[in-house]
């Protein structure tokens, strides 16, 4: 059965993955991504483990692993859907009402609607519970005011999963609510931020008197921290558990090829680095496969998602070290027009974000120490104090 599924996936991808064209206008890339995702869904290969009643395939984690392994050989144009498929969608399935699942899950799986996650704020940093964006009940609506930052893909998104403060008289972890936001609604402003790779994957998002209907609440009112922890768990597995793509210049196989073309394969330091990198890649892949199998059996990854996320970030830093051993000074300065140099530079410059996105390495270590190893928690002085009495970020 699995051999038949693998063959079907391999044949379909070989026949349907479009040629890479990163130089095309962004709107054209988005349109290509949407056409591909819809075709993927029509072929029964999108939402492989998601519930069939909401548009998924209802298949096993083992089949999802097979798809990921086969897809790693291709450059799928699906990056714009990663937040929706990896974080927002699974949280909708876990916590959404029947009406919300029926409305949002199938269009998300078909690529008809793009999602973003609206958690981070300028004054909150890694302490998500310190966020200050407010949602105030007004009759049958909620009125939202505030600012988010580092929001990936917001400029292309149709919906966002917003975390806002709804009860400042509660301690900071208790007065939060998660909402589904229409990113095209009046009062929503998106401003792209350019990072040091020269790209603009992040955005600032402003909410000025944005009105949300009462049924926009995802989960329960004032129980947004539980919803946030649920989504962060999916986020860590999504980030740390992704299969290394074969076109990734920092993947083991591509670094071996780089060493071969530069006649560096006989260098003992390079060989040691490549061997250690292969071992780490393989170990992380097996760990993530186990997480998926256990999730398929009804045991969510929980805090072990932080292990996957931290190990994934450390793997990238390890790969950057090996790339430096191979390329030497060419990793910092390369011939103009060298596609190989450009790709490697972008990958290296993007690596520091891996230790920040989805919670810093320090946050992951605290979670692992607290929830897995049973170590004493860091002292928290503000856990039981009403939020409005705290001096947080720009709050007076």
Catalytic residues: 235
197 exposed, middle or buried (CB, 10 Å; 0-12, 13-18, 19+)? middle
Is residue 145 within 8 A of residue 207, CB to CB? The reply is yes
């Amino acid at each position: 059965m699995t051999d038949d599924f693998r063959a079907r996936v391999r044949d379909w991808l070989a026949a349907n993955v479009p040629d890479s064209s990163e130089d095309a206008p962004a709107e054209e890339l988005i349109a290509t991504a949407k056409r591909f995702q819809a075709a993927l869904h029509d072929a029964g290969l999108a939402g492989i483990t998601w519930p069939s009643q909401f548009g998924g395939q209802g298949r096993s984690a083992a089949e999802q692993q097979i798809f990921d392994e086969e897809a790693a050989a291709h450059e799928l144009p699906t990056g714009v859907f990663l937040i929706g498929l990896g974080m927002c969608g699974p949280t909708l399935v876990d916590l959404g009402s029947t009406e919300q699942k029926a409305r949002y899950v199938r269009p998300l799986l078909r690529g008809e609607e793009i999602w973003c996650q609206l958690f981070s704020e300028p004054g909150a940093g890694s302490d998500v519970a310190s966020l200050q964006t407010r949602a105030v009940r007004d009759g049958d609506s909620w009125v939202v005011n505030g600012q988010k930052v580092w929001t990936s893909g917001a400029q292309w998104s149709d919906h966002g999963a917003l975390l806002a403060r709804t009860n400042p008289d509660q301690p900071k972890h208790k007065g939060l609510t998660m909402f589904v936001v229409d990113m095209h609604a009046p009062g929503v402003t998106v401003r792209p931020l350019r990072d040091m790779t020269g790209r603009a994957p992040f955005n600032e998002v402003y909410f000025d008197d944005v009105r949300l209907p009462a049924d926009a609440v995802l989960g329960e009112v004032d129980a947004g921290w539980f919803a946030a922890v649920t989504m962060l768990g999916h986020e860590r597995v999504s980030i740390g558990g992704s299969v290394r793509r074969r076109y990734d210049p920092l993947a083991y196989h591509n670094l071996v090829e780089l060493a071969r073309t530069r006649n560096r394969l006989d260098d003992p330091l390079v060989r040691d680095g490549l061997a250690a990198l292969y071992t780490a890649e393989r170990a992380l892949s097996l760990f993530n496969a186990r997480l998926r199998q256990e999730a398929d059996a009804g045991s969510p990854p929980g805090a072990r998602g932080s292990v996957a996320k931290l190990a994934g970030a450390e793997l990238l830093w390890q790969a950057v070290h090996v790339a430096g051993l191979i390329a030497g000074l060419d990793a910092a300065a390369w011939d103009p027009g060298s596609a190989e140099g450009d790709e490697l530079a972008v990958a290296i410059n993007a690596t520091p974000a891996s230790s920040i996105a989805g919670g810093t390495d320090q946050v992951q270590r605290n979670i692992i120490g607290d929830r897995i190893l049973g170590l004493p928690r860091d002292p928290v002085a503000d856990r039981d104090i009403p939020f409005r009495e705290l001096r947080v970020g720009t709050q007076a």
